Amino acid sequence: MKNPIWALMHSVRGRIYAAMAGSATSYLLNLAAMVMFAYNITQPQALTNLTWLLICLLLVAASTVLRLASFTISHLASYKLEVDLRSQIADKLASLPLGYITEHGSGRVAKLMQYNVTNLHAFVADSTPMLAKLYVAPLASLLVCAVFSWQLSLWLITGLTVGFVVLSRAMQGHGDTSALYEEKNAAFNQQAVEYIQAMSVVRAFDSGSQSYDRLHNTTVEFKELLTRWLAASGHSVRFAMWLFTPLPVLLWVGLGGWWLMHLQVLELSALAVVLLLSGGLVEGIMPLMWLNHAIKRSQVAATDIQQMLAQPSLPEPAQPEPVKFSKTPSIAVENLSFRYAGQQAWALQNMSFNIEPGQIVALVGASGSGKSTLARLLPRFWDPEHGRICIDGHDIRHLSSEQLMSQMAFVFQDNYLFDESLLDNLRLGYEHIDQALVEDAAKAAQIHDFIVSLPDGYQTMVGAGGVRLSGGQRQRIAIARALVQDKPILVLDEATAYADPDNEHLLMQAVAQLMQGRTVLIIAHKLNTIKDADQILVIDHGQLIERGTHDELLAKPSRYSQLWQAYENSQTWLLTDDSEEQRYA
Amino acid sequence: MHKQATLWQSFQHMRQLAGKQQKPLDRTLSQSAIAAMLEGAILLALFPVAMLFESDLMAGNVTSWLIFILFGLAVHFALNWHALSFSHGQPYAELVYELHEKLSQQLHRMPLSRLSQYRDGEVANALAASVEHITMPMGTLVQVLVRLAVLPCMVFLGLLWIDWRLAAVMATVILALWPINKLKQKMTEANFAKLSQAMINSNSAILGYSQGMAVLRACNATNGAGNRLRQRIQQLCDIQTRSEKRNIASNISYGLVAELGVWAMLTTAVLLVIYSDLSVLYLPVLAIIMLRLVEPLGTFAFMLPIFSLMRLGAKRYSDLMDINPLPTLGHTRQQQDSSITFKQVHFSYPGTNNPAINDLSLHCQANSITALVGPSGSGKSTLIKLITRYDDVANGSISIGGRDIRSFSQSELMSQIAVVFQDVYLFDDSILNNIAMAKPSASQAEIEAAAKAANCHDFISQLPNGYHTKIGELGGKLSGGQRQRISIARAILKNAPIVLLDEPTAALDSESEIQVQRAMAELAKGRTLIIIAHRLSTIVAADQIVVLDDGAIVEQGQHRSLLEEKGLYHSLWQAQMRTKQWHFNSVE
């Protein structure tokens, strides 16, 4: 059996083997008790000395305790495994390029750590002891039967073979159909989720029930598939399910036994033993079928986990050299080319520029031009394919994460806040910093007044159980956080994107505070905000096409002047009419 | 017994959910019950058969028993065959279909305000999967359960007939299991609250860790956060381990009583053979029957998780189905035009005390532009949602052309309104279908005309498959502005007399912003428009500007007069003008 779970289980493999051995042994002890009982009750002299009966009871007691113990062992091992795997995934996540999360979505990563790991439980805790038993049971039972009567065993095996032929006929094409079933079922679930989440849109535009039809069609398709499947396999499955119940087997063995006794080649004791064991033989098959479902699910879960753990980590030097950075470092981007994994087209191509210490450099261009990609290469979300980025002359790939991050703060569009107090959020990673300093940062970021207006002030909890913050407030907290950290390089990507219109100016002031005295790379769609930049870099289709100051770039016909014109127009536009005379001055 | 009760309740619940298929299900269950009785009878018939070994095995009366057994087996087969026709035949397919259909109809009918509680990905997923969880155990597993209940009863009756003392031992064993089982139940329940809290803690820690990874790295805080996460995960493991260990004693005593109980009966039988008049030939038969009873008890443990999935799924499904749709009132007045009137409207969101809309009255004339302005949380979005009957007002009324919106059917109401939302939702379907959903009868030319008016025809035509490109294929390649324009094309195609527009605030680059703005202007032409304006300059020429604060109108009028009032609008305007002139050197 090739199951990826076995590979993931290595930290608890010993315990699992112990649980499986315990479960198998427990079955054997029980088997011994049954054989002993069946044999002795057909021996007249056994009824005078009941020692064997006492042994039977002891065997059963031992078997029961051992069986339960093995389940306890496998459950405990499974809990430990869950901790181990979650820690491994967490560590891996911390070492992967940040781009991995951007590409896969943090929700999927979290799901991997929660549900996929939980899904393994069904296999590790419940199935492993059962599996051991299910493998040992038929072998041991048949062996014992053969010892008592090889003729009757042969008869039994013949019957079982017929049963399995019927069963395998029933299961013919089962794999394909069940894959199709899973697919259609998943399609319904996905569309239902889409339907739930987009219901306001569906209602607003659903005059002809078109989107409802999408869901309806899937439902109908699913029904047709089920009907076809059940019509094709229903009869043989029904037959097989009956065949593997104790009654037919008892009858089969009984008839065979009767015949063999008639031929005088079978003892009554042997018949009793075989009858007793054969019932249990078939009853193990049904749980195996139910188990299959759980095993399949855990296999899928395990494969995903394995793939994630096999992702290459962001390469870092094993022994980073100690580096002394200047107070305001310079940044050099040299012949930089980058494309996303699996993409032909370059996202950034042969780009070179310098940012002098303390300079403010703005990246400008249409959406999709590559600005954000460039901004994310600085904190090493990904590494470039060609060229390099240097801080104070040091290639960032030769720095440790700590060294790199000690120089650089970034504020992007969405800034995650943790389910902790505002204070802890503000001094994340800098827990030793004085609250007074944090408050200074919050004041500079224009968020202090808001925080102290809350009943619990800086101790207010953020998140599900705490205060709900608007987009602009979250961004000001992220800016305050960057101020607390006081790093010399600042990367801002649309740091004002989710501003609330009524307090946008507060956010702007916060950003201005943050930029002072730092080396800054900034991206903003609102071009007026960056027109004072020391250098404006215009990016188009991944290439650096123009550079200069605002005035220099406007002085000649340029891509920048087009963008500026578009910006001006968008700012003075009126909903009712775009004719000139209605524009307000 | 507590467990039996809930098992019984969920059994009843399952029957109820079967709906039209309840009769076939009941038939299946009764067939299974009869089959199990027959199985018991056949097993018990082995007692007299065994007695035949005492006399000559080949004597004449063996045939009559053999005929009974063979005949019984044939009937048993037939009953099982029929019983399985539910789970392995047409009724099952019908059942799945009906549950799916009822679910989608309910989603379409229930109030949006209630549905919004299901929007979270995990919740929606669980709801969608509930049908699978309900139907999975119906049929096969339930039949196993019926057999488990019926067979011991038959055996007990049989034993009364064979030897009452054996029946007495059996009764004693079952009575002894009762309190132990109850104790087990209690311990599980006691632990449940702690366990689920630990699970919630660990889940939220995991979520925070993955969502906040970029921030953690930027702050060099991965180690600390990783340790905190490990703590939470370890806590969960500790609680699980503790409860597992605490259950050892009760598990083992239950297991020992059950297994040794069966063997106590066998022992009693042996003693009865020695010291009383029980035939020795009964012993193997008794062993066969009793050990058959123990075996399914083991498989029962396997089915329990599947049943608890069913129980949860059934609850989730029924809770949703129990939500009533908003009532439709009988209408008294004919609709005059496409004007919109709010009359003393009060509204609070469920579960809150603060009114979101507080005694608000407003009239928007047909074919006029009304702009809603105000700080975030002032009630602008709520007002727009209420026009689409997201939920019903607590007090007062909203009417279109003089007719209360509660008297329209959902489709009548929605046929008059086109909405452009802040967050655009595109279906994982072709662009064509995403636009055409507003008017399924539209020709390709009409759709293209709408796309042209919304400024999105050009970029759509440039896609490799043009209008037939699937949204999913594009992945994240559509920009925010392009998505906005597709959603506006949808609204233009709908050609409804009323347009509700929530101006996008998300950062668009100026070139796409202009295109979105032009598309919005096209949409606004000749309709009753209510717009939530984030940029005040956009709505300078609106017929009326309504300034909201705390769910009430604080100012109302046209741009110039509002500026002269020097109230809230004036200060909002000033703030925005300042921002517009702002650049980062202006602080210095």
Domain assignment present for residue A515? The answer is yes
Q: What is chain B's mean pLDDT, rounded?
A: 85
- For residue A61, the model assigns a pLDDT of 96
Q: Does B237 contact A82 at a Cβ distance shorter than 8 Å?
A: yes
CA–CA gap between residue B174 and residue B254 (Å, rounded): 11
Note whether B587 contacts A368, CB cutoff 8 Å. Answer: no
Examine the domain organization and report whether A384 and A283 are in the same domain.
no
Which residue, among A106, A205, A509, would best test binding to B if mutated, counting the most B CBs under 10 Å from its CB?
A: A205
The per-residue pLDDT for B308 is 76
Say yes or no for a CB contact (<8 Å) between A576 and B210.
no
Residue A415 and residue A302 in one domain: no
Residue A464 shares a structural domain with residue A548: yes
pLDDT of residue B233: 93
C-beta separation of A415 from A514 below 8 A: no
Distance from CA of A503 to the nearest CA of B (A): 8
CATH of the domain at A145: 1.20.1560.10
DSSP notation for A231-276: HHHHHHHHHHHHHTSHHHHHHHHHHHHHHHHHTT---HHHHHHHHH
CA–CA min distance A250, chain B (Å): 9
Q: Determine the residue of chain B that is closest to A279 in CA distance.
A: B292
Residue B341: name the closest of B278, B294, B394, B399 by CA.
B399
How confident is the model at residue A350, as a pLDDT? 94
Q: Do B580 and A485 touch (CB under 8 A)?
A: no
| Lowest pLDDT segment from A444-453, A488-497, B73-82, B313-322 | A488-497
> Phi/psi of residue A367, each to 5°?
-65, 145
Same domain, A56 and A130: yes
The ipTM assigned to this model is 0.82
Out of A202, A214, A402, whose CB is closest to B220? A402
Interface of A with B in 251-310 (CB under 8 A): 251, 258, 261-262, 268, 272, 275-276, 279-280, 283, 286-287, 290-291
User: Does B524 sit within 8 Å of A576, measured CB to CB?
Assistant: yes
Q: Identify whether A454 is part of a domain.
A: yes
One DSSP character per residue, B422-437 reads SS----SSBHHHHHHT
- Across the interface, which of B104, B291, B518 has its CB nearest the CB of A195? B104
d(CA A301, CA A119): 7
CATH number at residue A469: 3.40.50.300
Residue A468 with chain B: CB contacts under 8 Å: none
Percent of chain B exceeding pLDDT 70 equals: 92
Is the pLDDT confidence value at B425 over 60? yes
Contact A128, A71 (CB under 8 A): no
Geometric angle at alpha carbon A373, from A473 and A408, rounded to 5°:
60
pLDDT of B586 higher than 60: no
Contact B514 A494 (CB under 8 A): no
Tell me the residue length of chain A.
585
* pLDDT for residue B495 is more than 80: yes
Amino acid in the structure at residue A560: Y
Establish if A55 belongs to a structural domain: yes
- Check B582 against A113: CB less than 8 A apart: no
Coil/strand/helix, residue B359: strand
Shortest CA gap B375–chain A (Å): 6
CB contact under 8 A, B302 and A212: no
Please report the pLDDT score of residue B447 as a whole number. Answer: 93
Query: Nearest CA of chain B to the CA of A238: how many Å?
Result: 6
Q: Is A104 on the interface with B (CB under 8 A)?
A: no
Q: Which residues of chain A does B107 touch, with a Cβ-Cβ cutoff of 8 Å?
A: 192, 195-196, 199
User: Minimal Cα distance from A72: which residue of B?
Assistant: B244
Q: Residue A328 carries which DSSP code? A: S
Residues of chain A with pLDDT under 70: 1-2, 173-175, 206-212, 284-290, 464-467, 497-503, 575-585
Same-domain pairing of A393 and A296: no
Q: For B233, which residue in chain A has the nearest alpha carbon?
A: A83
Per-residue model confidence (pLDDT) at position A584: 39
Contact A334, A390 (CB under 8 A): yes
Does residue A367 sit in the same domain as residue A499?
A: yes
For A375-418, give the DSSP string.
HHHTTTSS--SEEEEEETTEEGGGS-HHHHHHHEEEE-SS----
Give the whole-number percent of chain B exceeding pLDDT 90.
32
| A415 in the same domain as A293 | no
pLDDT of residue A583: 38
How far, in Å, CA of A495 to CA of A372, rounded? 12
Same-domain pairing of A291 and A392 = no
In a domain, A352, yes or no: yes
CA distance A166 to chain B (A): 15
Q: Assess if residue A259 is contained within a domain.
A: no
The position carrying tokens 């997923």 is B125
What's the CA gap between B387 and A398, in Å, rounded?
A: 59
For residue B547, pLDDT over 90 is answered with yes
What residues form DSSP beta bridges with A548? Answer: A536
Give the closest-approach CA distance of B406 to chain A in angstroms: 15
Reply yes or no on whether the pLDDT at B344 is more than 90. yes
Strand order in the sheet with B544-549: B417-420, B498-502, B528-532, B369-373, B544-549, B552-557
Q: What is the pLDDT of residue A499?
A: 65
Which pLDDT score is estimated for A432?
Answer: 87
Tell whether the model's pLDDT for residue B291 goes beyond 90.
no
Tally of structural domains, chain A: 2
Residues A414 and A295 in one domain: no
pLDDT band at B296 (very low <50, low <70, confident <90, very high): low
A314 belongs to a structural domain = no
A443-A449-A452-A455 Cα dihedral, nearest 10 degrees = -150
Give the span between the Cα atoms of A373 and A382, in whole angstroms: 9
Say if residue A303 is in the same domain as residue A413. no
Q: Which residue has the higher pLDDT, B7 or B318?
A: B318
B212, B225 Cβ separation under 8 angstroms: yes
pLDDT at res. A368: 78
Question: What per-residue confidence (pLDDT) applies to A401?
Answer: 85
- For residue A260, tell me if it sits in a domain: no
Task: Tell me the per-residue pLDDT of A127-138, one tens digit each, with 9 for 90 and over.
Answer: 888 888 888 888
Query: Using the beta-carbon criterion (under 8 Å), do B414 and A470 form an inter-chain contact?
Result: no
**Record: contact B514-A570, CB cut-off 8 A:** yes
Instruction: Identify whether the C-beta of residue B204 lies closer than 8 Å to the C-beta of residue A420.
Output: no
Distance from C-alpha of A210 to C-alpha of A213, rounded to nearest angstrom: 5
Residue B219: its pLDDT value, please?
81
Q: How confident is the model at residue B115 (pLDDT cuts 50, 70, 90)?
A: confident
Minimal CA separation from B263 to chain A, in Å: 7
Chain B contact set for A83 (CB, 8 A): 230, 233-234, 237
Please state which of the ranges A403-412, A504-513, B232-241, B356-365 shows the lowest mean pLDDT.
A504-513
* Mean pLDDT in residue range B101-125: 84
Q: Measured between beta carbons, which residues in chain A are less than 8 angstroms from residue B283?
A: 41
Looking at the predicted structure, is the pLDDT value of residue B59 above 60? no
Chain B residues close to A576, C-beta within 8 Å: 369, 521, 524, 541-542
Assess whether A340 and A446 both reside in one domain: yes
Q: H/E element holding B502?
A: strand B498-502
What are the tokens at A62?
């031992």
User: Which domain range does residue A287 map to?
Assistant: 4-149+266-309
Q: Which two tokens stand for residue A480?
A: 């305050």
Residue A33 lies in a domain: yes
- The DSSP H or E segment spanning A536 is strand A535-540
Instruction: Identify the band that residue B587 occupies on the pLDDT scale cut at 50, 70 and 90.
Output: very low
List chain A residues with CB under 8 Å of B542.
575-576
Task: Give which of A108, A282, A428, A575 to mutate to test B binding, by max B Cβ within 10 Å.
Answer: A575
- SS3 for B434-460 is HHHCCCCCCCHHHHHHHHHHCCCHHHH
Beta bridge partners of B522: none
Tokens of A211: 């989107």
Residues 6+ apart with CB under 8 A from A211: A195, A198, A202, A205, B427, B437
Quick one: pLDDT at residue A187? 83
The alpha-carbon gap from A110 to the nearest alpha carbon of chain B, in Å, equals 5
Say if A489 is an interface residue toward chain B (CB within 8 Å): no
Q: Are residues A435 and A300 in the same domain?
A: no
Rounded CA gap, B360 and B399, in Å?
13
Nearest to B255 among A68, A572, A577 (CB): A68
